[in-house]
Amino acid sequence: MYVFLVGSIDLGQGDLLLSFLNNQKDKSYERVGEYWQESEFVESVSYICSLQKTELEKVKCVHSSVNNFYNYESHDFYNKLRKSPEEIIEKGGICRDYSVLFYSIYEKMNFECNFIHKPQHVYLNVTCEDCDFCCDIDMNLIQCFG
C-alpha cells in the first residue's frame, strides 16, 4: 500500500492547484511532442514550412498543412490517450491530439510553444524569440497578435 501526503489545500487557492495540474499535463504533452518530432509527417511539414520567407508565414503554413487533414473526433471514453501523427491524420483526433501535433512541428522549427488550458479544451500559443507576434493555434483556427 502506498500513501502520499500532499498536505492541505485551501480551496481558495484553486488556481494554484489548477496551475500545478496543467503544468503536469504540459510536461506530458511536451514529452510526446518531442518524441513525435521524428515522425515522417512532422519532419515533412516542418521542412516545407521552414522554406517560407517570414516567421509568420511559417506559422501559418504549419497550421494550414495540418488543417488540410482536420477531422475532429468527439470526446468519449474510448479516445486513445496518445495518437501518433499518422493516426491523427488518418483517423482524426481531439483538441489534445492536435495541440501536441502542432507542438511537435513548431518546436522542431524552433518556435516557443505553450499549452493553453480552458475547461474541456486545450490549444497552443506560439511565439519566436525574435518575432513581434504570437499566435493562438487551435485545431481549425489560427489567431495572431502583434
Cβ contact 124:136 at 8 Å: yes
Which residues on neighbouring strands pair with residue 144, listed in sequence order? 135
What's the pTM? 0.78
pLDDT band for position 69 (cuts 50, 70, 90): confident
User: For 94-139, what is each residue's pLDDT tens digit?
Assistant: 888 899 999 999 999 999 999 998 888 899 999 987 888 999 999 8
Edge-to-edge strand ranges of the sheet holding 142-145: 112-118, 121-127, 134-137, 142-145
Tens of pLDDT, residues 19-47: 555 556 667 777 777 777 788 999 999 99
- Give the start-to-end residue ranges of the domains of the chain: 14-145
Which helix (H) or strand (E) is 87 found in, with range?
helix 85-91
As a whole number, mean pLDDT of residues 78-104 equals: 84
At residue 12, the pLDDT reads 46
